[in-house]
Structure formats: C-alpha cells, structure tokens
C-alpha cells in the first residue's frame, strides 16, 4: 500500500512538524509507558471477549506488555514513513491472526488515547500552548494508527472472501470430476497389477512403477480436492502423538538422500481427528520432500510437542530453498504454488484441518535456510471453540 500512508497523513494534516513534536515527547513519556501498558492489558483481561484472544497465559501477557511498550516508543520516535506503515500493518495482521474482534481493537486504541491525554495534561500543565500542540499531534498519530489497523481488518475480510470463492470453485470441480476420475484410475491401477505378471524385464517393470506412482498421485489429488471441499466435522478422539506420527511416516515414501528425523514428546496425547491429523503430517512432509527434490541431500525434522499451557504444535522444518518471499503470505491459500508440478492443495488442506480443530497454521522461512511450518492445536478444541478463533502468536 505505497500510497495509503501518504493519503491518510495528507487527509489528517499530519506533517514533519507533528513528527518532531511527537519525538520531543518521548523523553517525558517513556517513564509512563509501563503503566499505560499495564492499564491496557488490565482492561483487555477484564473483558472475556477480548481476553479470549490471549490463550498463552501469563507468559504471553508479559510478552505482549513489553511489545506494547516498544510499540509506544516507536510511535513517538518515528520516522512516520513507509517502513513505519509496514511495521504497524504487521501488528495489525497479528491482531487479525489471533482473532481479536475489531471492536475491541478500536476501543483499545481509545483507551490508550485517554491515557496519553492524561499524561500530557499532567507533564505539560505549565505550558498550555505546548500541551495543545502535543495533543493535536497525538490525536493525528492515533488516527493514523487506527486507520492502519482498520485497513488490515479490511484486507483480511477481502482475503477470506476470495478464499471462500476459491473453495466454492474447488467444491464444484471436485463434485464434478472426483467420481468420474476415480473409476478410470482404478482401471489403470488394476491393469498395471495384471501387466506386472506378464512383464519380466526390469525396464518394463520400471515403467509400470512410474505409471503406478502417477496413479497414486492422481488419487491423492482427488482425495485432497474432496476433503478440502467437503470440510467434514472432525471425529474427536484421544490421539497418541507417537502412534500417529509413526503411522503418517509409514505412508510417505522418502527418497534416497533425504533424512527425516521424527520426535514426539513422550506421553503427548492430543484430542483430534486421527485421520485428519495424520494427513497434516503427510502433507507437510511430502511438501518438504518436494522442496528438496532437486538436491542430492536434504534434512527434514518433524516434531510434536507442547507449545504452551493450552496448545500442542506439529512442526515440520527442512533445509530446502524455503518459500518464495512474495508467496509466503499466501502459501495456505488453495491453488497457490510455486512449483511447476504442484497444484497448491497440500498446505491449503493443512490450514483447513487446523481450523477445523480450532487451531491455526503458520509458515515462515528459517534464518539458516529452508522452511518451517507450524500447526498449533488446542489441547481442548471444544473449549477453544467456545472462546473464539485460535491464536498463532
């Protein structure tokens, strides 16, 4: 949004003089930031609808308080340029991700505005002119902050609409061709089985293996289409993480040169749909294997472990090329892929399953190279469903 911030600043009359006034307030405001942060989160925790977005307990609250202090400092320090907008937009997207209802975000900005006004009224009580100028600059700053936050909610709403439209399209395709494709694929698979008895030379058998592998790949695509379009309700049962992980890895052919390490914390029992969770692991590992297909050697790490007091995490990391930066924000969308042979359903199904478990999925590139995908699952999906959308922070 290169023109968004300049447009908002021009509309509000925010200029370099406002930035200078805000920067001059930083020394006198810094000592008050911890108290403002404490008040902000005391109000959040007092309201169940807002509190529901914070699922990481006291540890997460303390981390968020420190982040808020940094946010306040950078807001006054500036500069209020495009980089400022990008940082604020990332924070706004995090509010969307954790499921903070928009009206709480708006009122939270209002609470902070009142606290700033109280402090400025006190510290500049002896200089009415400076106080009035400071108030004007602060109100313009908070109006900019509010506009950026509302923009992120609007973008998320549009993205959800586009995602819904894609899923409808996928559903129509799956319903129309799923059954019709399964029959000829079954005939091909049976014919390969019969031909294998007649073919004795190794070259012929290798070609039959190739045909069989492609039939299985087509079947997986059809299954993913039907699963993504159907979104059946999960069958929640107690799932032993180690058993689920072993079963999933038994379904993934690992090529020579690729090493897969698995680790499920001892005694981890998740509540979820065993079949769907197994498919999550299969899709993530398969995705990593495909990312490594042009490399002689590669390493994949699969872990299932407690994430915090209320969630478990399934993480799959690899040392491949990582996600293309421009596609990273959209890797979980259906039909989005950077691979010539991919169709963009694997990660879409991963997020679909996570959300059906009242969880979340996140993807990022590792600093040391490669990609890592984390699926966060609540230990009690029913309780999380009652609280609202899950957090991925």
> Mind listing the pLDDT tens digit for each residue in 239-255?
888 899 988 888 888 88
Which among 200, 230, 260 is the end of a domain? 230
Which pLDDT score is estimated for 89?
84
Question: Are the CB atoms for 347 and 294 separated by under 8 Å?
Answer: no
Residue 245 shares a structural domain with residue 216: no
Round to the nearest angstrom and report the end-to-end CA distance of the chain. Answer: 24
- In the chain, the percentage of residues whose pLDDT exceeds 90 is 22
Instruction: Single out the residue of 364, 339, 363, 337 nearest to residue 350, CA to CA.
Output: 363
Q: Which residues in 153-248 belong to E strands, given as ranges? A: 237-240
* Cα dihedral 47/57/310/248 (nearest 10): 120
Residue 290 shares a structural domain with residue 149: no
Domain interval for residue 157? 4-161
Helix-helix angle 274-291:241-249, to 10 degrees: 50
* Cα dihedral 118/47/157/113 (nearest 10): 0
* Weakly modelled stretches of the chain, pLDDT under 70: 1-2, 48-57, 94-100, 160, 163-180, 217, 220-221, 223-232, 334-344, 380-393
Which among 119, 146, 161 is the end of a domain? 161
Question: Are the CB atoms for 159 and 213 separated by under 8 Å?
Answer: no
Residue 215 shares a structural domain with residue 281: no
Question: Are the CB atoms for 82 and 5 separated by under 8 Å?
Answer: yes
Question: Which residues, in sequence order, are bridge partners of residue 272?
Answer: 237
Which pLDDT score is estimated for 383?
53
Domain count of the fold of the chain:
3
Which among 109, 142, 161 is the end of a domain? 161
Backbone angles phi, psi at 316, to 5 degrees: -130, 120
Residue 170 shares a structural domain with residue 73: no
Residue 182 shares a structural domain with residue 65: no
How far apart are the C-alpha atoms of 374 and 324, rounded to whole Å?
Answer: 17
Which pLDDT score is estimated for 227?
64
Region for 117 from its dihedrals, namely left if φ exceeds 0, alpha if ψ lies in -120 to 50, beta otherwise: alpha
Which pLDDT score is estimated for 386?
47
CATH number of the CATH domain containing 313: 3.30.565.10
Residue 24 shares a structural domain with residue 156: yes
168-194 pLDDT tens trace: 666 666 666 666 677 788 888 888 888
Instruction: Single out the residue of 309, 310, 312 nearest to residue 269, CA to CA.
Output: 312
Residue 223 shares a structural domain with residue 253: no
How far apart are the C-alpha atoms of 167 and 171, rounded to whole Å?
Answer: 6
Whether residue 393 lies inside any domain: the answer is no
Whether residue 285 lies inside any domain: the answer is yes
Residue appearing with tokens 């959308």: 389
Which pLDDT score is estimated for 105?
76
Which pLDDT score is estimated for 389?
47
Residue 128 shares a structural domain with residue 167: no
């Amino acid at each position: 949004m290169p023109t968004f911030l300049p447009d908002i600043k021009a509309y509000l009359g925010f200029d370099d003089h406002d930035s200078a006034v805000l920067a001059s307030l930083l020394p006198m405001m810094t000592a008050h930031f911890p108290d403002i942060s404490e008040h902000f989160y005391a109000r959040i925790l007092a309201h169940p609808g807002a509190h529901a977005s914070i699922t990481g307990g006291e540890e997460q609250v303390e981390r968020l308080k420190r982040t808020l202090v940094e946010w306040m400092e950078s807001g006054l320090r500036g500069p209020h340029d495009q980089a400022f907008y990008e940082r604020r937009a990332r924070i706004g997207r995090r509010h969307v991700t954790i499921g903070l209802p928009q009206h709480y975000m708006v009122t939270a900005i209002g609470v902070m505005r009142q606290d700033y006004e109280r402090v400025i009224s006190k510290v500049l009580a002896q200089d009415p002119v400076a106080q009035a100028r400071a108030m004007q600059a602060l109100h313009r700053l908070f109006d900019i902050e509010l506009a950026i936050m509302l923009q992120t909610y609007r973008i998320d709403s549009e993205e959800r609409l586009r995602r819904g439209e894609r899923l409808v399209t996928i559903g129509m395709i799956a319903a129309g061709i799923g059954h019709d494709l399964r029959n000829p694929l079954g005939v091909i698979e049976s014919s390969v089985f019969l031909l294998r008895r007649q073919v004795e030379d190794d070259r012929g058998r290798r070609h039959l293996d190739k045909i069989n592998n492609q039939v299985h790949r087509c079947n997986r695509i059809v299954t993913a289409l039907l699963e993504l379009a159907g979104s059946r309700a999960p069958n929640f049962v107690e799932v032993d993480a180690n058993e689920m992980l072993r079963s999933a890895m038994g379904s993934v052919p690992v090529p020579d040169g690729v090493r897969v390490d698995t680790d499920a914390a001892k005694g981890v029992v998740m509540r979820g749909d065993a079949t769907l969770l197994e498919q999550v692991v299969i899709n993530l590992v398969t995705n990593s294997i495909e990312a490594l297909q042009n490399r002689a050697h590669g390493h994949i790490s699969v872990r299932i472990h407690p994430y915090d007091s209320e969630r478990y995490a399934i993480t799959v990391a690899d040392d491949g090329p990582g996600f293309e930066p421009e596609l990273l924000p959209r890797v979980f969308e259906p039909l989005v892929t950077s691979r010539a042979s991919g169709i963009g359903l694997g990660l879409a199904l991963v997020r679909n399953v996570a959300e059906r478990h009242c969880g979340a999925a996140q993807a990022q590139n590792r600093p040391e190279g490669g990609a890592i995908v984390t699926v966060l699952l609540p230990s009690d999906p029913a309780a999380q469903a009652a609280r609202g959308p899950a957090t991925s922070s």
